[in-house]
Structure 1
Amino acid sequence: MGKTARTARTARNATTARLAPPAWLTAGLRPQPTPVPWAAVLRAAVALAAPLAVGMATGHTAYGALVSMGALSGVIGDTADAYRMRVFNIAVPQLFGALGVTLGTLVYGEGWAAVAALTLVALVSGMISSIGAVASVSGLLLLLNAVVGAGLPLPEPWWKAPLLLVLGGVVVLVLTLLGWPFRGGQPERAAVAGTYRAIAELLEAAGSEAYDEKRQAVTASLNQSYDLVLARRARQHGRAPTLVRLLSQLNAVIPILEAAPAAHFAARRFHRPLAPAIPAAVRALADAVEAATPRKHAPPLDLPEARRPTEKAVDAAVRHAATVVHQAESRPHNVDDRLGRPAALRVRVRRAARGVLLSGASWRYGLRLALCIGLAQALVSLIAVPRSYWVALTVTFVMKPDFGSVFSRAVLRALGTAGGLLIAAPVLAAVPRGWWDVPVMMVLAALIPAFSAKGYAFQTAAITPVILLLSDLLNRQGFHLVLPRLYDSLIGCGIALVAGYLLWPESWHTRVADRLADAVADTASYVHLAFVEVDRGDTAARHRARRKLYRDMSAVRSEFQRALTEPPPAGDLAAAWWPLAIAVERIVDATTAARIRVDHGAPAPDPAEVAAVERQLRELADGLRSSDVLEEVRADLGGDEDGALEPLRQEVRAARAIATPGARE
């Protein structure tokens, strides 16, 4: 009887597994385990509700609704941590949004001229989105507000609507900057301290299976810290001693980060884990960084005696970091910002212009977005669709390449809109018009930052009732807005799926193999740099090359995460190549570990060993680019099995084994 029950239960589980939706489709429906940003929640509630209250009090409810719309854009775009970056992230997109609504207002009611104008705006919006994060949000607002201006009768004269929308952004900006006098520099300090803590966790994980995951967390934390601290160039750092000190403290973690792979391979190969006192000392440094209390002399460190090359490397790195963290000089040393410094403004502008005008990817995405917007506008011009501008708005939100897979975003957009309508329907049906809209807006607006951190579908569900309430204030249609919103969203998602996804084979074929090939080739160059060029005296070049490699691999990992949400075959192919991406990161770690061991007393490898490893990596990169099958996994790369390069050779063998067809089947 028991066996029969187990068999029946197994059959039911198998049937359930077959009927369950695939993982790539449901991945976006799982909420991310992120804390609620209470400051952002309060800021959103005030920024969107206060303009409504002022508008009602002055008898200009429509004006208040437009200011709240501008505030909504500012709330969505306020994603930075450092205050000076938040100014840039909020202000610049608002200017593009003002330009967009002006262009839209000028072609309102112009029929096919409006279709042509919005298609051209979509082309420009799509092309500039490839420049960077701020440009992407700016391009988004440019197109969104152009669609709104072309689809809604906004207040006259033409300059009034853009002025009101920008005023909403100013409200968010003012509320954001209220904390600057009290918390100036705190986000940067918290980020640098977080990097120290992430490295402490990495050291604790040395020799364990958790090491790869902790290393990825360190890479993400280090990228964020450099982005915050180096948001301005070095000539500005010279006028800001706090940033100089933070940069010095951040650079001081690099030797610890370079020693960590050596500790990991030593713990895995020789079963010599690090003493718990070492991660504890790094955590103490993190607390000192966050407290911003430098001392005249660094407190003594209670670290175990270092005897072996790896132990000496870790000990020297931690002691150096302690000296830098606790030093009291106003101008500390070690402020080289070339590990993450942004280029000069004129250089970035030149690169951006070249990337937009000469990049095939930029043109292809711009054309895809223009095609979808053109079809959406043409459709609503030929067929009477209530609230027709919502169709193009949906297309705009879905067709964002840097926000994830177009396919999954279309599905999540439809589901999120349906969820948002379930919230909006009782609000529009039961809440009386008038002053009750203000407290309701406070509650709905507070949900936006709280839900946005959970995922795209949750963000859509939070934004939808806010948009509907603002639309009702402008149109007074109440509950009758609900079904048109659902229809228009489904039409927009359908256009994006067909014209923006299925008609473009590159959108459903992943390029992860090409990205991996570039990473492998860069890794080969790093091996050469670590053991050949480093002897010529430019150690900083090796540091910069390693930082660039890890940053590039972080971008590759993000590309993998996007590709994994694509339907087959793209998602399946990305899953098959994922182990090789991990293997490449391990090769970089093994190279760094070998260099550190040599720097602290281990015998240097023979140049022939280095050349053999470099040759194997370049063969692997060439095979990935040409899609040729690697002839074999060479078991013998030569060299001393007890030498510094042996862990590196093992990782290269593993990578080549993964790259063979049999390992991916």
Structure 2
Amino acid sequence: MWRRIIYHPEVNYALRQTLVLCLPVAIGWLLGGLRQGLLFSLVPACCNIAGLDTPHKRFFKRLIIGGSLFALSSFLIQWMTLHSIPLPAILFAMAMLLGVTGEISPLHARLLPASLIAGIFTLSLVGHMPIWQPPLLYVLGTIWYGAFNWFWFWLWKEQPMRESLSLLYRELADYCDAKYTLLTQLTDPEKALPPLLARQQKAVDLITTCYQQMHMLSANRDNSHKRLTRAFQVALDLQEHISVSLHQPEEVQKLVEQSHAEAVIRWNSQAIAARLRELADDILYHKLPGRFTMDKQLGALEKIARQHSDNPVGNFCYYHFSRIARVLRTQRPLYQRDLMADRQRRLPLLPALKSYLSLKSAALRTAARFAVMLMFGSSMALFFNIPKPYWVLMTIMFVSQNSYSATRVRIQHRALGTLAGLVIAAATLRFQVAESWVLMAMLAITLVSYLFIRKFYGWATIGFTVTAVYSLQLLTLNGSQFLLMRLLDTVMGCLIAFGGMVWLWPQWQSGLMRQNAHDALEAYQEALQMLLGSEQGADKLAYQRIRVNQAHNALFNSLNQAMQEPGFNDRYLSDMKLWVTHSQFIVEHINAMTILAREHTMLTPALAEGYLQSCEIALQRCQQRLEYDGPGSETNILEAQENFHQGPVTIMERHVKRILGHLGVMHTISSLAWSQRPQHGQWLVRKLRKSSK
């Protein structure tokens, strides 16, 4: 029982965050310096936003950089304020200066908002302590945060990877269960496929997270991670076999009508899903897995496949289920991969600065958006005679996310949570409660809030608002006077952040869909060149297969977010939804072909070359339709070869022929969809530029 409590991801995270915040307060209270303890405990908020609690092989180097930037931001904002430089100009300059971190790597990009929050929070301390004290507070606070997290991760060394792997196994279980529960409903792809696409997307996102963790920890060089590395390779094999599809609904329906295949296939899938959920718990709670066998289920499926040998569905399911069963029984991957082949690239500072100074830089656009929002927020505060507008500015930083939909949801949760928290604080401040009981209540509220924050941000905001008001009460003894002002500041900050996301160089996913679709087709072409070409190394095929899945996921994410953006063309999105559905079919065929290529089920060189040429022509037609909006007859492209092979069709050929069929449908959809696209912004660019890799 204690394992399920102490190793549970939410409980483990909540305990870590609560202890790193509350221990300085407790020590300060015991030593008679409660004010210093409360101020000291606010530094971990900046460290959290900067991602300094991420296990990393350069953990201490990142701590030094983060602490230095926090102290520099704190010093600069005080020094420039003392020299009568206007606050809007200070914040604009700081945001543009620190924005270069976003060009180095995605993890370094988190230093920008964290450093700005450190400077903004310093505004509340100006005039209350010497200029050197806030930077020293940030330096010591970052040292405490780093030392505590290093000790915590030493105690729970493998826990971050275990949590990700456990989530991946559980998502694969849900995906397998849902896929074969919908076995007879796949005749209508528009209704049956969206939930499967969402589950497939989550699985690939978790695979990407595990890859990133392994690169950050250099897991291949650490003997303590060998068991988890093997579990991850097993998960990659499972995702390969679970995600493939036959895509012959008529044959599925015929087999179901002629036999009890539906019940048998579901029996197999349910046994696999149950085992995956059991393994997810075993990985998370540090338990050795028990024995596993599904001979009865496979025997029944093999019997159906033998009795209906003319129907490909039975053999297809038996082939993939038997390999999944072998992997689950042995707990060993079907083959060894080089998991470190995709090493994360980082730009050094000078090349990053050169790239940052380009108008095409996404990091420059993000920094400029923050700079303009903070400048506008501080100008509004000066207009309304708010001397220290730190609450407005921090609200802007906390609710601003990478996309319109995420920002909108965060604003709703932040505003409603703040309102509810202020109401609760106003009601409870009337009671005269001893300081020790107040601190105990704040400890409990902090722990409960961190239990919910990753899934229910709004509920967590209620708790954090209550603790913030009581912190002000303990520091100044007049927390009730701040209630109405904090509510107005929150509303103002949310409105500014929303306006900035809508009007200031927004990351509209609808505008990125065309580029993401082009990138997905390019990834498919590279995969087919490997699969049908002369070079078929297992490691390269496995890596390219993951790239194909990730490229399709980027497109699928763009579509999902575009459907939530305001004022967009519904007919265009409806056509693109169908385009993405056929793209998913191609991904699943490439997954299946990767398995066949690894098992040397290949085509003759002449036949493979002919099919490859046909696929490349079809892909180029789709790509040119994305680049040009003219009539299809104007594109100078060779027509695909037809009927260049006569004779029995192999499994590999069947997959290639279906890819060609999907590409033909996608080209037809593109011809209709692009004519309905919006006529503004990026959509006026007739030719796409290559995306940087």
- 1:61 paired with 2:34, answer yes
| 1:254-293 matches, cutoff 5 A | 254-262=236-244, 264-265=246-247, 269=251, 273=265, 275-276=268-269
Q: Distance in 2 between matches of 1:459 and 1:625?
A: 46
Q: Say which of 229, 249, 255 aligns to 1:247.
A: 229
- Please say if residues 63 and 146 of structure 2, whose CA atoms lie closer than 8 Å, have aligned partners that are also in contact: yes
User: Which residue of structure 1 aligns with residue 615 of structure 2?
Assistant: 613
User: Which residue of structure 2 aligns with residue 26 of structure 1?
Assistant: none
Root-mean-square deviation (Å): 4.4
Specify whether residues 628 and 86 from structure 1 end up closer, same or farther in structure 2 by C-alpha distance, changes over 3 A only: farther
Deviation, structure 1 residue 489:
2.0
- 1:325 paired with 2:332, answer yes
User: Which residue of structure 1 aligns with residue 687 of structure 2?
Assistant: none
The TM-score, its normalising length taken from structure 2, stands at 0.75
Specify whether residues 81 and 385 from structure 1 end up closer, same or farther in structure 2 by C-alpha distance, changes over 3 A only: closer
User: Which residue of structure 1 aligns with residue 205 of structure 2?
Assistant: 220
| 1:41-56 matches, cutoff 5 A | 41-56=14-29
- Please say if residues 542 and 594 of structure 2, whose CA atoms lie closer than 8 Å, have aligned partners that are also in contact: no
The TM-score, its normalising length taken from structure 1, stands at 0.77
3-state DSSP class of the match of 2:217?
A: coil
Deviation, structure 1 residue 167:
4.1
User: Which residue of structure 1 aligns with residue 5 of structure 2?
Assistant: none
Specify whether residues 229 and 647 from structure 1 end up closer, same or farther in structure 2 by C-alpha distance, changes over 3 A only: same
Specify whether residues 112 and 575 from structure 1 end up closer, same or farther in structure 2 by C-alpha distance, changes over 3 A only: farther
The Cα offsets for residues 215-264 of structure 1, whole Å up to 9 and x where unpaired, read as 32331232222222332347xx33x2132443344334444433444455
- 1:232 paired with 2:217, answer yes
3-state DSSP class of the match of 1:325?
A: coil
User: Which residue of structure 2 aligns with residue 528 of structure 1?
Assistant: 529
Deviation, structure 1 residue 120:
1.0
Q: Distance in 2 between matches of 1:350 and 1:247?
A: 35
Q: Distance in 1 between matches of 2:162 and 2:29?
A: 42
Counterpart code for 1:59: G
Deviation, structure 1 residue 549:
2.2
Deviation, structure 1 residue 654:
4.3
Deviation, structure 1 residue 146:
0.7
Q: Say which of 125, 130, 141 aligns to 1:157.
A: 130
Deviation, structure 1 residue 142:
0.5
Specify whether residues 254 and 171 from structure 1 end up closer, same or farther in structure 2 by C-alpha distance, changes over 3 A only: same
- Please say if residues 259 and 593 of structure 1, whose CA atoms lie closer than 8 Å, have aligned partners that are also in contact: yes
The Cα offsets for residues 463-496 of structure 1, whole Å up to 9 and x where unpaired, read as 3333333334344332110111122222223333
3-state DSSP class of the match of 2:455?
A: coil
User: Which residue of structure 2 aligns with residue 5 of structure 1?
Assistant: none
Counterpart code for 1:381: L
The Cα offsets for residues 1-50 of structure 1, whole Å up to 9 and x where unpaired, read as xxxxxxxxxxxxxxxxxxxxxxxxxxxxxxxxxx9822333344444333
Over the matched positions of the two proteins, sequence identity in percent amounts to 19
Q: Say which of 78, 96, 101 aligns to 1:123.
A: 96
The Cα offsets for residues 302-322 of structure 1, whole Å up to 9 and x where unpaired, read as 465699577556645764676
The Cα offsets for residues 603-628 of structure 1, whole Å up to 9 and x where unpaired, read as 56553333223322232233234455
Specify whether residues 80 and 202 from structure 1 end up closer, same or farther in structure 2 by C-alpha distance, changes over 3 A only: farther
Highest RCO, 1 vs 2 (Cα 8 Å, sep ≥ 6): 1
User: Which residue of structure 2 aligns with residue 96 of structure 1?
Assistant: 69
User: Which residue of structure 1 aligns with residue 188 of structure 2?
Assistant: none
Counterpart code for 2:584: E
User: Which residue of structure 2 aligns with residue 585 of structure 1?
Assistant: 584
Q: Distance in 1 between matches of 2:207 and 2:250?
A: 25
User: Which residue of structure 2 aligns with residue 540 of structure 1?
Assistant: 539
The Cα offsets for residues 346-405 of structure 1, whole Å up to 9 and x where unpaired, read as x56677555534443222222222112122223323431264222222222233326954
User: Which residue of structure 1 aligns with residue 566 of structure 2?
Assistant: 567
- Please say if residues 73 and 119 of structure 2, whose CA atoms lie closer than 8 Å, have aligned partners that are also in contact: yes
Deviation, structure 1 residue 449:
1.6
Specify whether residues 150 and 421 from structure 1 end up closer, same or farther in structure 2 by C-alpha distance, changes over 3 A only: same
Gaps of 5+ in 2: 1-7, 184-191, 256-260, 307-314, 678-693
Q: Distance in 1 between matches of 2:153 and 2:519?
A: 42
| 1:33-432 matches, cutoff 5 A | 37-74=10-47, 93-129=66-102, 131-153=104-126, 156-173=129-146, 176-177=149-150, 179-189=152-162, 191-192=164-165, 194-196=167-169, 198-199=171-172, 202-204=175-177, 205=179, 208=183, 209=192, 211-233=196-218, 237-238=220-221, 240-262=222-244, 264-265=246-247, 269=251, 273=265, 275-276=268-269, 302=295, 304=299, 311-312=318-319, 315=322, 319=326, 325=332, 334=336, 336-343=338-345, 352-353=352-353, 355-358=355-358, 359-385=360-386, 387-401=388-402, 405-430=406-431, 432=433
Q: Distance in 1 between matches of 2:412 and 2:368?
A: 22
Counterpart code for 2:205: A
Specify whether residues 574 and 90 from structure 1 end up closer, same or farther in structure 2 by C-alpha distance, changes over 3 A only: farther
Q: Distance in 1 between matches of 2:285 and 2:10?
A: 22
Specify whether residues 45 and 184 from structure 1 end up closer, same or farther in structure 2 by C-alpha distance, changes over 3 A only: closer
The Cα offsets for residues 401-437 of structure 1, whole Å up to 9 and x where unpaired, read as 2695445544544333323322332244435473343
Q: Distance in 2 between matches of 1:148 and 1:402?
A: 25
Counterpart code for 1:41: A
Specify whether residues 201 and 134 from structure 1 end up closer, same or farther in structure 2 by C-alpha distance, changes over 3 A only: same
| 1:430-469 matches, cutoff 5 A | 430=431, 432=433, 434-469=435-470
- Please say if residues 509 and 558 of structure 2, whose CA atoms lie closer than 8 Å, have aligned partners that are also in contact: no
3-state DSSP class of the match of 1:231?
A: helix
- 1:652 paired with 2:663, answer yes
Q: Distance in 2 between matches of 1:319 and 1:557?
A: 32
Q: Distance in 2 between matches of 1:173 and 1:75?
A: 11
- Please say if residues 263 and 310 of structure 1, whose CA atoms lie closer than 8 Å, have aligned partners that are also in contact: no
- Please say if residues 93 and 134 of structure 1, whose CA atoms lie closer than 8 Å, have aligned partners that are also in contact: no
Gaps of 5+ in 1: 1-34, 328-332
